[in-house]
Amino acid sequence: KAGVTQTPRYLIKTRGQQVTLSCSPISGHRSVSWYQQTPGQGLQFLFEYFSETQRNKGNFPGRFSGRQFSNSRSEMNVSTLELGDSALYLCASRSPRNGYTFGSGTRLTVV
């Protein structure tokens, strides 16, 4: 069974640009969650999708958005990038019985 796949691994963008990150969960997992990890704030919950519906959202501005497709793949988008958006973005999928399985993350650097 393939794990959670996140693309791209690394990304450098300029302030003001927008970015789209992709996450493919483990086959059969319908729940996908996104987290932002920074040295200062630790792991912060962004949002969670289940069957193409956003079930929960963390305390992030509207510049952060996401969606989930019918094959459970999810994307998150950040518009009007700020320097503070530089972080490791982690995606996780979950089976009904087990803990989360995380992808390797996308390291976003905003310059």
Partner 1 sequence: SQQGEEDPQALSIQEGENATMNCSYKTSINNLQWYRQNSGRGLVHLILIRSNEREKHSGRLRVTLDTSKKSSSLLITASRAADTASYFCATDAIMNRDDKIIFGKGTRLHILP
**Cβ-based nearer residue to partner 1, 21 or 92:** 92
Binding segment for partner 1 (CB under 8 A), chosen from 11-19, 65-73, 74-82, 95-103, is: 95-103
Contact 67, 49 (CB under 8 A): yes
Assess 99 for contact with partner 1 (CB under 8 A): yes
Indicate the burial class of 70 (C-beta count within 10 angstroms; 0-12, 13-18, 19 or more).
exposed
Assess 68 for contact with partner 1 (CB under 8 A): no
Enter the tokens of residue 21. 């990150």
The pairing of beta strand 31-38 with beta strand 53-57: unpaired
Mark residues 1-30: x for contact with partner 1 by CB under 8 A, - for none.
Answer: ---x-x------------------------
The single residue among 11, 20, 22, 50 that binds partner 1, judged by CB under 8 A, is 50
How many residues appear in the chain? Answer: 111
